[in-house]
Amino acid sequence: MHRWILAAVLLAPCAGEAGLSELLRWEEGRSMRAGSNVWYPDDLHNIRNNWDREDRIEPGVTYTLAELQGPGIITHMWFTFLHEPHVWAATDGAANHQEMLLRIYWDGRPHPDVEAPVGDFFANCFGRRMEVISQPVIVEDADSYNCWWKMPFKKSARIEIVNQSKKPIRKLYSNIDWIKKKSLPKDTLYFCARYRQEYPAVNGRDYLVLETEGKGYYVGTVMAVRTRSPAWFGEGDEKIYIDGEELPSIRGTGTEDYFLSAWGLKENLMPYFGVPYVNNPMRIIGQKYCAYRWHTEDPIVFSKSIKVTFEHFGWISGDENKENRPHSWNEREDDYATVAFWYQDGPSKPFAPTTTAEERKLPSLDRVVVWGKDLRGAERSAGRVRVETGALYLESGGQLHFSPRDEDAFIEVPLEVARKEPLRLMVELSRTPDGGVWQPYLNGVPIGEPLDTYRADPDLWEFHLMDFWPDPGKYTFKLVCVGRNKASDGNTLGLNSVRLRERRPRVAASRLHCKAGTGARSRCSIGKTSCSLSPGERVGVRGSGSAGILPARVGGVSPPRFAAAPTNKACGSGFPRTRLRARARSRLRIVIVVHYREVFRRVAIIFRINLVVHSAVP
């Protein structure tokens, strides 16, 4: 019933908004457009009629896209602008959509009822360009930003873009389509949208998406999450409080369930829900999710007030909880950003502070970053090196592209640790049609399986290698070419960065220590037990990414060689290791992976048995 009330009260004044059936009945109004094009009606052949206003909007400038006199209803908005890298923006760059703030003012009000970064408003989070195909929002080819939210106004509408970047906005083109009306019903509701963030989410309280007073409908959520722990974040439920109630009328069954997915969030684009972006299918430190959910067909009705919140609960890995359980349901400290979409009567009250572009950038989790572009003089074997730029390398400004001359090529990366703390070692490599297979080492100790950098469609991939507690000092990370994928055209290496990322165990008693020594041997320990590794030995890893050491499968690479090898008693439980002869060929391994996932109010156990031939030669 409420669905039809929403359509009748909000949308019926505009022809075409409720589907093709509405086109059968004529509605009063005149279609209008406020566009960015220059227009000389008295000189139709003037070449300037092909121009658009404002080639560039300088940093700090607030630019008015449209000022409309009502009553009327905005039916469609379209934007586009240059992105980096682009030849026209090569000199001084271009602002990205996370640095551009969209504001819309209704009826001359002093405060905007719409305030959100352009990207997040169009379900493009983290400053990344993404394709979105949904009912009210479509971003075509990550370049053309469209929305069909119906936005009525009685007196006036002013649409602004604020350039909060240090770079100019280049070639911002826009079309604002609207219908001018003679009048609107007295109970017409106003469209509202508001951005909010917590970096990280604050323990002891649920994450707030919206809090407002009045009557209206909640119609959508865009959410961006960046994880700070390796396990699954999304066991928090939505809790929606209506009209001042103490207990929520609406409580969910998990974050992915709210976004109408199941058993995790996978990339998808649907009319009413979707996940435009997941940066890595494994549960890693720094996992990023961007998701949207539109309530256009199931609006949430409120008469006095509404408060929309999410629990930020999820699984915590063994070294982050006192019980040392691999799947412990706890409050987490991940980074959240959201945009709430709703309709309400009267002006909305700001419930979140306005943020700057700098404040919206995610804080770095990396303690040490060595950029590949700075390694042209690094110790390496013979071959050709160059700095390669492009859209994949905007953060770094370019990666090191290494075309080795020999099959057993290598490159060394110096690392320096300032203080003792839990860290994750990771390397960021391009996967390309001519990528090789490279074995990582730390101070001469092989780490996990070789990394296959072949991919038909190039991308930039984070390979998460090891968690450890290194002592302060200097270390050497090394990549050695050990061959190529049979489908690859070469054995090149695209090295964007090597990073030591904050690991954040919360329980000191369950610390994992692995010291890559500067001498002939390295020491590893869990808790109070320790062991030594010689340079000929390989650091093993566990099979579960949520167990706190290393995912069993990263970036399409086979599970680490010792994923289920017998544990050496001298090394303490849970840290498998085995000495191998470098040229051993016979293999016998039985891997039993029991992957269990406890879900609040539902439990599922999935058994997977992999039989792999492998033999460890002492």
pLDDT in tens, 120-131: 999 999 999 999
Q: Which of the four pLDDT bands, split at 50, 70 and 90, describes residue 13?
A: very low
The predicted structure's pLDDT at residue 318:
81
Q: Is pLDDT above 70 for 572?
A: no
Q: Which tens digits make up the pLDDT trace of 378-425?
A: 999 999 999 999 888 888 989 999 999 998 999 999 999 999 999 999
Q: What one-letter code names the amino acid at 243? A: D
The predicted structure's pLDDT at residue 506:
62
Q: Which of the four pLDDT bands, split at 50, 70 and 90, describes residue 19?
A: low
Q: Which of the four pLDDT bands, split at 50, 70 and 90, describes residue 519?
A: very low
Q: How far apart are CA 129 and CA 96, in angstroms?
A: 9
The predicted structure's pLDDT at residue 42:
74
Element (H, E) at 359: helix 357-360
Q: How far apart are CA 447 and CA 464, in angstroms?
A: 10
Q: Is pLDDT above 70 for 536?
A: no
Q: Is pLDDT above 80 for 225?
A: yes
Q: Which of the four pLDDT bands, split at 50, 70 and 90, describes residue 73?
A: very high
Q: What one-letter code names the amino acid at 360? A: R
Vertex 401 angle, CA 375 and 96, to 5°: 90
Give mean pLDDT, residues 532-547.
40
CA atoms within 13 A on the CB side of 576: 19
Q: Which of the four pLDDT bands, split at 50, 70 and 90, describes residue 86?
A: confident
Cis upstream peptide for 248 (omega within 30°): no
Structure tokens at 575: 């840290």
Contact 550, 466 (CB under 8 A): yes
Q: Is pLDDT above 50 for 589?
A: no
Q: Is pLDDT above 70 for 596?
A: no
Q: Which of 552, 588, 589, 549 is nearest to 449 (CA)?
A: 552
Phi, psi of 48 (to 5 degrees): -70, -15
**Which residues of the chain does CATH 2.60.120.260 include?**
366-577
The predicted structure's pLDDT at residue 507:
54
Q: Is pLDDT above 50 for 16?
A: no
CATH fold for the domain made of 196-349: Jelly Rolls (2.60.120)
Q: Which of the four pLDDT bands, split at 50, 70 and 90, describes residue 539?
A: low
Higher pLDDT, 394 or 29: 29
Q: Is pLDDT above 80 for 105?
A: yes
The predicted structure's pLDDT at residue 323:
78
Give mean pLDDT, residues 286-294.
97
The predicted structure's pLDDT at residue 556:
32
Percent of the chain past pLDDT 90, that is, above it, reads: 65
The predicted structure's pLDDT at residue 504:
75
Q: Which tens digits make up the pLDDT trace of 433-470?
A: 999 999 999 999 999 999 999 999 999 999 999 999 99
The predicted structure's pLDDT at residue 90:
62
Q: Which of the four pLDDT bands, split at 50, 70 and 90, describes residue 478?
A: very high
Q: How far apart are CA 216 and CA 326, in angstroms?
A: 43
Contact 552, 531 (CB under 8 A): no
Q: Is pLDDT above 60 for 587?
A: no
Q: Is pLDDT above 50 for 570?
A: no
Percent of the chain past pLDDT 70, that is, above it, reads: 77
CATH of 366-577, one of 2.130.10.10, 2.60.120.260, 2.10.109.10, 3.30.70.20: 2.60.120.260
- Three-class DSSP category at 345: coil
The predicted structure's pLDDT at residue 206:
98
The predicted structure's pLDDT at residue 531:
38
Higher pLDDT, 562 or 273: 273
Contacts of 544 (CB under 8 A, 6+ apart): 326, 551, 552, 593, 595
Contacts of 584 (CB under 8 A, 6+ apart): 615, 616, 617
Q: Is pLDDT above 50 for 9?
A: no
Contact 287, 275 (CB under 8 A): no
Q: Is pLDDT above 90 for 429?
A: yes
Give mean pLDDT, residues 523-541.
41
Cis upstream peptide for 136 (omega within 30°): no
b/e per residue 216-237 (b: at least 16 CB within 10 A):
bbbbbbbbbbbbbbbbbbbbbb
Higher pLDDT, 534 or 366: 366
Give mean pLDDT, residues 354-369.
97
Arithmetic mean of pLDDT over the chain: 81
Q: Is pLDDT above 90 for 513?
A: no
Q: Is pLDDT above 80 for 529?
A: no
The predicted structure's pLDDT at residue 569:
30
SS (H, E, C) 106-131: ECCCCCCCEEEEHHHHCCCCCCCCCC
Q: Is pLDDT above 60 for 615?
A: no
Q: Which of the four pLDDT bands, split at 50, 70 and 90, describes residue 576?
A: very low
**Which residues of the chain does CATH 2.60.120.1390 include?**
26-188, 196-349
CATH fold for the domain made of 26-188: Jelly Rolls (2.60.120)
